[in-house]
Structure 1
């Protein structure tokens, strides 16, 4: 469902322009937990925002392609990568996912919280993400299972957050080409607008079977 009718790029540039930093600057906890121990190769970070995940991956030895729709976010991400000394390990690309997608295949494709109040064809994007995983590679999808503050978002009751089982079915990970490594729901603490809230998230991690 589209809640904000502005073009997606306009929406996200306005969102990032609200302050000099939107996100924490730290990599997503589930990304760190699920990727640590993997042999570094090529990685694709979809919806990279201000670059924390991509930078962390580069610091672990991955060659990263970071993708976002917002030129504001990508500019910040590039500066953060320079400051962290890993600019040469990250290729920043601007894409409106669902309309364009990075070329090539990757050993790791990460989609962390691909949710938006602007138009976002999430299932289409995640199917393209799955197709971009190299044989033997990993697809990691992290998503919310609801709003952190239900009262604040009570006017959006028809927005659906898919469960891990629904993600697996929607993306087509049951076609014999994938090994499901993780499919779970879990709680996470998050500070939003100065309040410590508990929200439920979902993790799906799958390995594309070698041909």
Structure 2
């Protein structure tokens, strides 16, 4: 099994910031195109991973007792996972490289009466120099797979420094079962995820197949039937709200 499916250069933090500001065209120009010429690219008018609530996997982790304060939501985006966990009583810090994402997260927390319960800030996930030895739980919901191999090792090492001894790390990332036609970041093999975490000092306690819920619905795909995403959707599946699901890994590791 290969370590990853190589793709063109991934969008920069500035491109992600443009996406959160609603500049979808700038993000589309920065995103890697599909290699499948017979399909057109899927045109979107929303942040593809912003489902307006916490990822179901994160909800399940909390219900299963896998979260403990103090929590880091790394690559928090618009803040839904962090806000959910803060509402459940955890001390939560959400970090993202995109200032526009942080602005959205802060406003959503304020609107839900949790503005004082969760802290959001702009930070580089590959360094996090101001957060050493701080967190007992780290949640990565779809950030790991955004980094190329050269950055991935430094990223999980930075998480290790930010975590306290015996802290838990939960990583939800796209797996190598995601079809080539599916637009998005790097595909990650089980071996790659296990090896990268272990190299940084994380002890993998669990690694299993999961799904990542996207913001795209069956109706959205029906409006663009010749797009690359619509072409593979039937093989991926939808949740009870008709949202498209992407194959993923869920890894839980402990800081040594």
The TM-score, its normalising length taken from structure 1, stands at 0.80
- Per-residue deviation, 1:38: 4.1
Going from structure 1 to structure 2, the CA distance change for 1:110 and 1:24 (only over 3 Å counts) comes to same
Give the counterpart of 1:109 among 109, 134, 138: 138
Distance 1:56 1:33 in 2: 12
Name the structure, 1 or 2, with higher relative contact order (CA <8 Å, separation 6+): 2
CA RMSD of aligned residues (A): 3.1
With over 3 angstroms needed to count, the CA separation of the structure-2 counterparts of 1:73 and 1:31, relative to structure 1, is same
Aligned to 1:122: 152
Task: Say whether residues 1:166 and 2:192 are aligned partners.
Answer: yes
Work out the CA distance in 1 between the residues paired with 2:251 and 2:142: 12
Cα deviation per residue 1:47-70 (whole Å; 9 max; x = unaligned)? 000000000110111111110011
Higher-strand-fraction structure: 1
Q: What CA distance in whole angstroms lies between the structure 2 residues aligned with 1:15 and 1:117?
A: 18
| Distance in 2 (alpha carbons) for counterparts of 1:89 and 1:147 | 37
Contact 1:51 1:66 in 2 (8 A): yes
TM-score, normalising length: structure 2: 0.67
> How far is 1:77 from its partner?
0.3
The answer to whether residue 205 in structure 2 is matched with residue 181 in structure 1 is yes
Counterparts of 1:15-34 in structure 2, within 5 Å, are 15-18=19-22, 22=47, 23-34=50-61
Secondary structure, counterpart of 1:88 in structure 2: coil
What SS does structure 2 have at the residue aligned with 1:172?
helix
The corresponding residue for 2:242 is none
1:47-101 deviation digits (Å, cap 9, x = unpaired): 0000000001101111111100111110010010011111112111101222444
Distance 1:13 1:169, change over 3 A: same
Deviation at 1:45, TM superposition (A): 0.7
For structure 1, the 5+ residue unaligned runs are: none
Q: Deviations over 1:84-127 (max 9, x none)?
A: 11111211110122244441321101111114389982331122
Instruction: Give the superposition deviation at 1:183.
Output: 0.4
**Higher percent of residues as helix:** 2
Residues matched between the structures, number: 201
